[in-house]
Amino acid sequence: MPMPGPNSPWPPKAWQPAYDQYALNDAWLTGDVAAIARFAGNDQQAATHRHNGTGHRGGIVGAASRMFWGRPVGDGERSRVHLPIPADLATLASDLQYSDPPVTSFAETGETTPTDAAQARLDDILNSDAHHAMLNSMGEIKSALGASIIVPRWDKELEERVWLDYAAADTAIPTFRQGRLVDVTLWSEWQDGVHFWRHLEHHARGYIEHALFRGTKSNLGRRRPLKDHPETAVWAALVDDKDQIPTGIDRLTAGYLPNAPALAWRKDGALKDAGRSDFNQLIPIFDNADETWSSWMRDLKLGAGRLIVPESYLRSNGPGAGASFDLLQEMFVGLNVPGDPDSGMDLTPQQFQIRVQEHKDTLDGITEQILRKAGYSPASWGLGDVAGGTATATEIQHRERRTETSRSKKNLYDRMVLSRMGSVALELDGRLFPGKGGGRFDLNVVFPDISRVDPKTEAETIGLLKVANAISIETSVRRANPDWEPEAVDDEVERIMREQGLTAAPDPVTLGRVDDPTAPEDPTAPKE
C-alpha cells in the first residue's frame, strides 16, 4: 500500500477487524479493567432494569454482558478484581524465547571471509545487550498482539552505528504479496483537542517516506508539512523534495515478524498473513480466571469475623450520629425484659467459611487450560502436576516437551526475519558509517536450547556408568560440563588423574619401540 491519500479512513477499513482485536488484546495485556468492561459490553454502567431483585441490561449490550466483565454492576457492589494472567502469559512467552538471547553470526557462504572489524561490528549491533533488551521488550508485544515489525534505525547524533528496533502490530499497516511483505506503513499519533496529528513512516524497497496528517479520530485528514509539528520537524531536514529518504540499498528496510500463523483471518485477503496472538481463543478463559479470583477475594471480605449485638448494648453517639459498640468494654448491665430474660441479649459471633481449596483448585484448572491452549506446560508457569494422578517419567517429559515445541515453532519465524533484518542493518551501517566494518553479509541466528539437565540426575547417571565401567573420565567430564572448551576438559581430566594417582595410557604408536624414550631400560642389554 502506498502512502494513503488525504481524508482516508484510519485505520484502513480492511484492517479494522485486526485493530479491534489488537485493542481488546491490549486491554487484557495492560490490565485496563475499564477497557475490558467496555469491550465486554458493560463499561461499568448501572443496570437498566431489575428482575427478581437482580440488575439486568437489555438490548445487544445485554447479550454481550454474559461475560463476567460484561455484567451490570449492582448498587453498592464492589469493583471486580483482575488477575494479570494475560500479562504473565506474554512475559512467559518472551522469557522462553529471549531470556537466553539468540546469537547472530556470519553464514559460511565461501564467497568472502568477514574481517575482524566486521565481526566486531556484528557483535556491536546484533549481539549487544541493547539488542537483547529490545528482543525481550518486543517478545511480550508480539505474544499479545500476534506480530511485531523489525526496522533498522540510525541517528548520527545519538549513535555511531545502526541498530534494530521494533514497532507493535497495532501501529503498522503492512502489505503482503504471495505471503511476503512488500511494504509497511508505521504510524504514531498525538491528540490535540478534537484533532489528531499522525506521523506516517512508509517503508518500501529503496526508500523511506515520511508524512504528517491532521485529522480526526477515524479520518486521516489533510497532509501537512513535516515542520508543522515538533515531533516530526526533525524529519523535515532529512527528506528530499518527495519527503523520502533514499536508503541506497535494494532491500526493504522492515521485516514482519509473526507470532504464529493466523487462523481466524486465513480467508481474509488483507489479513491472512497478519499473525496470531497467544491470546487467541483465551479471552473467555481469562474472564473465567477473573471471576474465580474475584469470588475468592469476596470470600475473604465476607469471611471477616463479625459480632451481632443487641440494640441495648449500643452506645448513643448523639442526635443524628447513630450508635456504636465498644469492643473493649468488660461489663454490661442486664435489663429487665418481659419473657425469657436471656432472649435476644446474647452477643452472637458470625464467621463465614473461606473456600480456599475450592477456589485454588478451580484457578489451577483454568490456568492449565490457558497454558495448554497457548502451548506451554504447567511446569513452565511454576505449577506442578495439576492433572492429578501418578505420571510416569515418559509422560512428564512429554508434557515438558510442549513448551520446547511451541518455542521451536516461533523460532522458525524469528530466525528468518532477524537474520534478514540483521543483514539489512549491517549493509546500511556500511553505507552510513564507512570503514567501521559494516557491509552486506548473510547471517545465521541461533537460539540456545531451553532444556536444562538436573545436575543431581546427571551426576547419578555418570556415577552409574562409572560403576559399570561404561564411561571414561574424559566423557564424564564432558557430560558434567557441556559448555566447557576442549582445553578446559583436558586440564580437568589431568587433575582428576593426578589426584587419583592414575597415569595416562601409553601411546600405542610408540609402545615397545626401540627408540621409545619412555620405555623402561633393559638390564640385560649390553652397555656401551
Our CA angle for 499, 502, 506, nearest 5°, is 145
CB 93 within 8 A of CB 140: yes
168-182, 203-217, 487-501: segment of lowest average pLDDT = 487-501
Question: pTM for this structure?
Answer: 0.76
Give tens-digit pLDDT for 115-141.
Answer: 999 999 999 999 999 999 999 999 999
pLDDT above 50: residue 63: no
DSSP string, 433-471: STTSS-----EEEEPPP-----HHHHHHHHHHHHHTT-S
pLDDT, greater one: 512 or 112: 112
Give tens-digit pLDDT for 255-270.
Answer: 999 999 999 999 998 9
CB 186 within 8 A of CB 149: yes
Contacts of 483 (CB under 8 A, 6+ apart): none
pLDDT at residue 44, as a whole number: 44
pLDDT above 90: residue 42: no
Neighbours of 259 (CB within 10 A): 26
The mean predicted confidence, pLDDT, of the chain is 84
Backbone angles phi, psi at 288, to 5 degrees: -65, -40
pLDDT above 60: residue 56: no
